[in-house]
Amino acid sequence: MSYQTIDEANQAVIDKMVAAAPFLVDVVPAKDKIPELKEHVLLHAGPPIKYENMTDPMQGSCVGAILFEGWAEDEAGARQLLENGEITLIPCHHVNAVGPMGGITSANMPVLVVENRENGNEAYCQMNEGIGAVLRFGAYNETVIKRLKWMQDVLGPVLSKAIRQMDEGLNVNVLIAKAIAMGDEFHQRNIAASLAFLKEVAPIITALEDVDQQDRIDVIQFLSDTDQFFLNVAMATGKAMMDAAREIKHGTVVTAMCRNGENFGIRIAGMGDEWFTAPANTPEGLYFTGYSKDDANKDIGDSAITETIGVGGMAMIAAPAVTRFVGTGGFDDALETSNEMMEICLGENPNFVIPTWNFKGACLGIDARKVVETGITPVINTGIAHKIAGYGQIGAGTVHPPIECFEKAITAYAEKLGFNA
């Protein structure tokens, strides 16, 4: 379809976002949904990157995934495979997926399946491992591998059985609408949504007669302990929404934001699959006791897909409880942040109404033109990883994409439309 103006194309994109009907429908091994995931293939967060250019936590995540899959017996063997180029690396975004922090996903890791029923497409994200030493922050010790095996053998299958017993799956829009009114912004704070998810699945899990009682207990306990579990559902939801919206193939709405420690990358609707990149920044924020900015890793992860759909840092006002945790002050600062983000967006999403924002809808449609015109870049809530693999999260804060990403995207789109740059 052709559009007379950029504004008309952008309206079509955001209409597609509002119309999205995301449902969590299953949890399956990644290879069941992503045919590219064969032996010696790993997915990673961010735009394309070579192993040698990855930061230490992302390299560590690659090692952990190889050990989990059994492609090597020890770290030395895993690193030899990586250094010899025997492991194929693919961005999650290239195969309908997203991944938190390092984003490393392998064939037998269970992924959440979110179906956008308005458009008929699906998106995938691995499940949240909890806190502490975890693969997404680069840890690959015996405890990490044991937990991943448990997620493969117990957590994934149990959740699959529970979700498939729901008549239509879990309506994610309804759950987000409920949780945003309870103080979540779906990047740094997911407590309400994670508990609401547990409320939906717990009665079904406890009644699964073909599942060992201890497994049922362990799954319920894990979900109860994992405050950020819903983040990964939100990420898959964002991917499903934006992949449908970017089928418009016109306009300047940002359809993806992600980072790999080397580069920050964005996509806009009118430029399809093309990435526009600039060097990744280091997040600004608060550090846990004993750590400082000197210990921080460059920004990594696909989780900024949440900001792309208008939540996360864009909806800071929805979760004033996290503002001090990410080092941005208090309620007034949260209000100022979200008001500023509206200056680079095209409207409000009526599906995600925020009571603390006088019942306005969450930010809808980041317009790359407005970013370039105003100099205001999207704010992204994020965890801060230690620059050495295995230490895990050492703080929390915010990060902004380099404005060069948006300048490059607008220049390329102008050239595509026949304008002189």
Query: What are the boundaries of each domain within the chain?
Result: 21-232, 249-417
pLDDT value at 299 more than 70: yes
pLDDT value at 173 more than 60: yes
Is pLDDT larger for residue 330 or for residue 148? 148
Is the Cβ–Cβ distance between 44 and 123 less than 8 Å?
A: no
Q: Report the number of secondary-structure helices (H) and strands (E) in the chain.
A: 14, 16
Is the Cβ–Cβ distance between 172 and 122 less than 8 Å?
A: no
pLDDT value at 268 more than 60: yes
Q: What is the pTM of this model?
A: 0.95
Which residues have C-beta within 8 Å of that of residue 80, sequence separation ≥ 6? 72
Predicted local confidence at residue 324, as pLDDT: 64
From the CB of residue 340, how many other CB atoms can be counted at a distance below 10 Å?
15
What is the DSSP-derived secondary structure letter of residue 240?
Answer: H
Among 57-61, 110-114, 282-286, 327-331, the range scoring the smallest mean pLDDT is: 327-331
Is 209 strand, coil or helix? coil
Token pair recorded at residue 71: 């492609």
pLDDT value at 136 more than 90: yes
Predicted local confidence at residue 327, as pLDDT: 54
Percentage with pLDDT > 70 across the chain: 98
Please tell me the number of Cα atoms within 13 Å of 373 on its side-chain side: 9
Is 358 strand, coil or helix? coil
pLDDT-derived band at 392, boundaries 50, 70, 90 = confident
Residue 134 CA to residue 332 CA, distance in Å, equals: 34
CATH number of 21-232: 3.90.1710.10
Predicted local confidence at residue 333, as pLDDT: 85
Residue 105 CA to residue 232 CA, distance in Å, equals: 13
For 362-388, b where at least 16 C-beta lie within 10 A, e where not — what string? Answer: bbbbbbbbbbbeeebbbbbbbbbbbbe
Is 96 strand, coil or helix? coil
Predicted local confidence at residue 131, as pLDDT: 83
Residue 317 CA to residue 60 CA, distance in Å, equals: 35
Residue with tokens 């840092």, as numbered in its chain? 313
Residue 61 CA to residue 103 CA, distance in Å, equals: 8
Predicted local confidence at residue 393, as pLDDT: 85
pLDDT-derived band at 338, boundaries 50, 70, 90 = very high
- pLDDT tens digit string along 312-327? 999 999 987 777 665 5
Residue 65 CA to residue 138 CA, distance in Å, equals: 10
- Paired sense of beta strands 88-91 and 41-44, if any: parallel
The domains spanning 21-232 and 249-417 adopt the same CATH topology: no
Q: How many residues appear in the chain?
A: 421
- pLDDT tens digit string along 36-81? 999 999 999 999 999 999 999 999 999 999 999 999 999 999 999 9
Is pLDDT larger for residue 48 or for residue 139? 48
Query: Which CATH number does the domain 249-417 belong to among 3.40.50.300, 3.90.1700.10, 3.40.720.10, 3.40.50.920?
Result: 3.90.1700.10
From the CB of residue 419, how many other CB atoms can be counted at a distance below 10 Å?
9
pLDDT value at 114 more than 60: yes
pLDDT value at 205 more than 70: yes
Predicted local confidence at residue 325, as pLDDT: 61
Average predicted confidence (pLDDT) for the chain: 94
Predicted local confidence at residue 394, as pLDDT: 86
185-206 average pLDDT score: 96
Residue 302 CA to residue 315 CA, distance in Å, equals: 18
Q: Which of 283, 281, 279 is nearest to 292 (CA)?
A: 283
Predicted local confidence at residue 2, as pLDDT: 80
